[in-house]
């Protein structure tokens, strides 16, 4: 089985600035940590890195840092952080990103933005520049924002867009599961009518606060398959965001007060659940795990220029101010 993880995060608070990290998230998650979270069921494993919420003035630094790690961690594409509503500043930033060989798309994280930003004149203008460069756009929104994403897709039909985390529906927990809401199903269906929009099977464990199981989440996967079709679905781990929750059985580092902890097996468990679901439904597993992400992001055979060790050390030294 081969896997392209279409939604992988990496971060290092000692190298870059992240205002949102707290609790178990406030730690380094980079090459050593990812090595311990490898997908044992995968004969071949690659990944697309998705921007991890570093400070806006460090977006380009984040790309350079990940490029320095890419060969070691198996990253073959980067979805870079960007603000698409900044006019000339947006154009300048996109021009700077064009010099980075692994950039295949961008993400302006919309989930905490005001409703309507995605269809504002400034944002649409910036998104058109993304489409003109042949890049993709990752739409990370909450369920109530899905209509705005559909309107954006209608305004720029040539923009290849992927919905992160199925639009973050309310899934409940394993102990108190929720069923797909009528509103979410309706809005997902409307978005899926735009043929250049794909959907990532990712992020649901985080929406369940790390307390999830297969039976709880399969109905949401079924809706995604029914609306988008298997040919527009791609698997993503959302690691390590979706690897935080109740401590796993036998965790020697579990807190006595039951506080959230890093779940060492969460990435592999999510893969196993999606594979089991797809196989049971007769879906094309290789398409979901590899081919669709490869096609959407234009990854080809996964080839990329090799970063030399000296270049890697130079970038890390520059980020540290050495």
CATH of the domain at 153: 3.20.20.140
The rounded distance, in Å, linking the Cα atoms of 110 and 51 is 13
Q: By the 8 A CB rule, do 153 and 159 touch?
A: yes
**Span 17-38, average pLDDT:** 97
223 falls within a domain = yes
The rounded distance, in Å, linking the Cα atoms of 126 and 152 is 11
261 falls within a domain = no
The rounded distance, in Å, linking the Cα atoms of 301 and 284 is 19
Element (H, E) at 31: helix 31-35
pTM, two decimal places: 0.93
260 falls within a domain = no
272 falls within a domain = yes
Determine the pLDDT at residue 143. Answer: 98
The rounded distance, in Å, linking the Cα atoms of 114 and 282 is 40
Determine the pLDDT at residue 320. Answer: 55
How many domains, in total, are found in the chain?
A: 1
Determine the pLDDT at residue 316. Answer: 52
8 falls within a domain = yes
| Local confidence band at 321 (pLDDT 50, 70, 90 cut-offs) | low
Average pLDDT, the chain: 93
Interior/surface letters 96-128, b for 16+ CB within 10 angstroms, e for the rest: ebeeeebbbbbbbbbeebeeebbbbeebbbbbe
Task: List the domain range (segments joined by +) for residue 194.
Answer: 2-251+268-320
Determine the pLDDT at residue 188. Answer: 98
263 falls within a domain = no
* DSSP 8-state class, residue 109: -
Per-residue pLDDT reduced to its tens digit, 234-245: 999 999 999 999
Q: By the 8 A CB rule, do 209 and 247 touch?
A: no
Determine the pLDDT at residue 312. Answer: 46
The rounded distance, in Å, linking the Cα atoms of 218 and 287 is 18
Say how many Å lie between the first and final Cα of the chain, rounded: 42
Per-residue pLDDT reduced to its tens digit, 69-117: 999 999 999 999 999 999 999 999 999 999 999 999 999 999 999 999 9
Determine the pLDDT at residue 301. Answer: 56
Per-residue pLDDT reduced to its tens digit, 137-196: 999 999 999 999 999 999 999 999 999 999 999 999 999 999 999 999 999 999 999 999
116 falls within a domain = yes
**Span 211-236, average pLDDT:** 98
149 falls within a domain = yes
pLDDT at 314 over 70: no
């Amino acid at each position: 089985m081969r896997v392209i993880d279409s939604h992988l995060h990496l971060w290092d608070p000692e190298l870059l600035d992240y205002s949102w990290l707290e609790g178990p998230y406030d730690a380094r998650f980079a090459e050593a940590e990812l090595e311990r979270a490898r997908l044992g069921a995968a004969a071949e494993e690659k990944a697309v890195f998705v921007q991890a919420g570093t400070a806006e003035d460090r977006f380009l630094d984040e790309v350079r840092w990940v490029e320095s790690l890419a060969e070691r961690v198996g990253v073959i594409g980067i979805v870079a952080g960007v603000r698409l509503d900044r006019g000339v500043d947006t154009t300048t930033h996109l021009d700077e990103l064009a010099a980075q060989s692994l950039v295949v798309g961008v993400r302006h994280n919309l989930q905490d933005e005001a409703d309507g930003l995605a269809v504002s004149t400034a944002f649409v203008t910036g998104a058109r520049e993304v489409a003109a460069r042949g890049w993709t756009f990752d739409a990370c929104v909450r369920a109530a924002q899905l209509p705005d994403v559909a309107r954006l897709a209608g305004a720029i039909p040539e923009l290849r867009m992927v919905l992160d985390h199925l639009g973050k529906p309310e899934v409940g927990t394993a102990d108190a599961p929720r069923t797909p809401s009528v509103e979410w199903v309706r809005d997902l269906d409307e978005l899926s009518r735009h043929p250049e929009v794909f959907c990532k099977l990712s992020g649901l464990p985080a929406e369940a606060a790390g307390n999830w199981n297969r039976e709880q989440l399969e109905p949401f996967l079924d809706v995604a398959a029914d609306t988008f079709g298997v040919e527009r679905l791609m698997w993503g781990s959302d690691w390590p965001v979706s690897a935080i929750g109740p401590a796993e059985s036998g965790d020697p580092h579990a807190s006595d007060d039951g506080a959230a902890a890093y779940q060492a097996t969460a990435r592999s468990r999510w893969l196993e659940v999606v594979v089991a679901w797809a196989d049971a439904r007769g879906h094309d597993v290789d398409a979901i795990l590899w081919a669709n992400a490869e096609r959407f992001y234009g990854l080809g055979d996964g080839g990329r220029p090799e970063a030399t060790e000296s270049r890697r050390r130079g970038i890390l030294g520059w980020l540290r101010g050495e």
